[in-house]
Amino acid sequence: MKREEVLMEAMPYIQTFHGRTIVVKLGGHAMVDQNILDTVIQDVVLLSYVGMRVVVVHGGGPEITAKMKAMGKEPKFVAGLRITDEDTLEVAQMVLVGKINDDIVSLIAKFGAQGIGLSGNDGNLMIARKLDPKKVMVDEVEQMVDLGHVGEITKINPEVLETLLENNYVPVIAPIAIDNKGHSLNVNADTAAGEIAVALGAFKFINLSDVDGVMNARRDRTFQRLKIHEAREMIVDGAIVGGMIPKLEACIRCLENGVEHAHIINGNIEHNLLLELFTDNGVGTMIKRDFE
């Protein structure tokens, strides 16, 4: 396709998305590969320049693990779930708020836009409560496990984000929330991004992952379009496992609560974010409401 044809294909999408709110969740390999992260942030800045109101939410689980090991602290996991004790929470805040968040804001400035770093504690952005102990299987024995300082979001206060967006800033949010007693809690970044998209009445929620989208059980096909009931069936049937479950659940919650479109795409391929938004076929999976 000629360059002018690419631009003409993008034009109606740029017109439609102008002034709309887009929530982008960053995770996976993009968080540890500087070249990939640079490309993603370039895309984010371009979206801002063409008039979209962009909010970035990031994860950082592997970086927390690496930092703990570098500090001589051994991460604790039970049935694949991280136990967030006092030491782990301190490291999580250090990595998520102090390192990753600041790095992303600096990149946004490098590429010509204005970023503002936030955690859920700022302006009471994300209120959460401590998770109850969970039932998990350990060596084929069911156990109740307390995950420590891990929370589930109970409320989003989006006023601070609205103020920043109205003034052409790109908010960058770390997944640390606060409870009603002022204690910090680690929250799932996929869930946090979805809740923020709902609270903002976002037009699109886009989750950047390490895979091309939602795949079938054999992992030999990526779905270009998927309806909510199909996504739920895949979770129940076990076709969707691991970290893809909270990604899909966040997409479903968004669609059921006013967000127009939800996408899961591979964030490791250059400019996939732009290709998903501004081309007819896209590059990942779009999850749609059942009636659409």
Residue 32 one-letter amino acid: V
Question: Does 285 have pLDDT greater than 80?
Answer: yes
Q: How is residue 34 written in tokens?
A: 């500087």
pLDDT at 141: 79
Contact 266, 284 (CB under 8 A): yes
Q: State the pLDDT confidence band at 154, using cuts at 50, 70 and 90.
A: very high
Question: Does 251 have pLDDT greater than 70?
Answer: yes
Residue 283 one-letter amino acid: V
pLDDT at 1: 64
Q: Where are the domains of the chain?
A: 17-269
Segment 59-76 mean pLDDT? 90
Domain covering 17-269 assigned CATH 3.30.530.20 in the classification:
no
Segment 118-145 mean pLDDT? 88
Distance CA 132, CA 166 (A): 38
pLDDT at 268: 92
Percentage of residues in the chain having pLDDT higher than 90: 76
Q: Which residues contact 228 (CB under 8 A, 6 or more apart)?
A: 252, 255, 256, 287, 288, 289, 290
Q: pLDDT for 186-233, tens place per residue? A: 999 999 999 999 999 999 999 999 999 998 888 888 999 999 999 999
pLDDT at 119: 95
pLDDT at 201: 97
Q: State the pLDDT confidence band at 77, using cuts at 50, 70 and 90.
A: confident
- Weakest mean pLDDT among 1-5, 97-101, 113-117, 272-276: 1-5
Distance CA 238, CA 244 (A): 11
- Weakest mean pLDDT among 28-32, 184-188, 279-283: 28-32
State the pTM of this model: 0.93
